[in-house]
Chains A and B, each alone.
Chain A
C-alpha cells in the first residue's frame, strides 16, 4: 500500500538554527511533491512544490530537496524563528492527480 512517512517525534530546535524535516514515501511514483504548514486548529497552508526533475527548490528561508531514487524529500528552514513553530506536512498526489495524500506531519518547535 502507499505510505507517506514523516518523523512522528516533535523536533525542538533553538532559534537561528536550521531545521531539517524528512518525508519518505513508498509505492508512489510522484511527478511532484508538496509541503504544507499547519497551525493548531487551522487548515494547511501551501509552502512549496518540487517536481521530480528538480533536485532542489528554494523560497526565502525554505529549501526542499527531492530524491526519487531514495524516495525521500527533505525540508529545511534556515535561520529558524519561533514563528516557524508549527506542524509541517508532506503531500503527494494520488494517481489521478486530484487527491492529495498527506503524511501525518512533523511538529516543529523553535525556542528563543
Chain B
C-alpha cells in the first residue's frame, strides 16, 4: 500500500540553525501539506501546496518557514533560524484531491531545538 515517507525520523539542532525536513508524498497525489504537533497539544496546520505554489498557510507559517518541491517526488519544509519553540513533531501529508478527501500522513519528524 502506498505511503508517505519522511526523513529524518529525529532531528536535533541548535537554536538559530537551519533545518530541512524531507517528505516523499504518495506518487499520484497532487496536494501536499505540513502540520506540526507540539508535545501534548493538537495537530496544527502549517501550509498546503498545490501546483508548485502555496495554496494556504497558517499564522504559524511565518517568514522563517518555506516549502519546496525540488523534483517530482520530494516535498521539503525549511526552517531558516530555529527557535526553541519550534521543537515539535512535524507531519507531512498528501491527498489526491483538495477538500472532500482524506489526507495521508507520514510518520513524522521529531525536531528538537536545543
Contact = CB atoms under 8 A, between A and B. Distances in A.
B98 A102 contact: no
Contact of A105 (B31, B42, B104, B108): B42
Interface residues of B, number: 28
Nearest to A45: B105
A99 B41 contact: no
Interface stretch (A18-26, A36-44, A63-71): A36-44
A43 B43 CA distance: 9
Nearest to A97: B99
A49 B55 contact: no
Interface in A81-112: 89, 93-94, 96-105
Contacts of B103: 44, 46, 100
B104 A46 contact: yes
6 contacts: A34-B102, A41-B108, A43-B93, A49-B100, A89-B42, A98-B50
